[in-house]
Amino acid sequence: MLLASPQATRWLDDDTHRLFLAEDARRQFAFFRHSLRADGGFHQLDVDGTPRPTQVQELHATTRMIHSFALGKLAGLDKGDDMIAHGLSYLGAGHHDAQYGGYIWARDGKDISDGRKLAYGHVFVLLAAASAHAAGHSTALGLLDQADQVLTQRFWEEDHGLFADEWNRDWTPFSSYRGMNANMHGVEALLAAFEATGRKHFLKRAGRILSFFMDTIAPQYDWRIPEHYTADWQVDPAYAGDPMFRPAGHTPGHSVEWARLWLQYGALTGTDVEDGARKIVYRALHDAWDESRGGGLIYTLDFDGQPAIRDRYWWPVTEAIGVLAALLKTGGTAEDEAWYHKMWQFADAHLIDHNQGGWFPELDDDNRPKARQFAGKPDIYHALQADILPLLPERANIYDGLRALIPPKL
Catalytic residues: 254, 382
Q: Which amino acid is at 68?
A: S
Report how far apart, in Å, the C-alpha atoms of 276 and of each of 121, 160, 212, 377 are: 28, 22, 13, 34
SS3 letters across 311-327? CEEHHHHHHHHHHHHHH
Beta carbons within 10 angstroms of residue 198's beta carbon: 10
48 Cβ contact partners less than 8 Å away, ≥ 6 residues apart: 356
Report the alpha-carbon distance of residue 19 to residue 209 in Å, rounded.
Answer: 36
* Full DSSP string of 145-180: HHHHHHIIIIIEETTTTEE--EE-TTS-B----EEH
162-163 and 156-157 strand pairing: antiparallel
- Which DSSP symbol is given to 177? -
Report d(CA 285, CA 306) in Å as an integer: 13
* CA distances from residue 32 to 61, 80, 87, 407, 410 in whole angstroms, order as listed: 12, 11, 13, 20, 21
Strand partners, 178: 229
Give the number of other Cβ atoms within 10 Å of residue 157's Cβ: 12
- DSSP 8-state assignment for residue 52: P
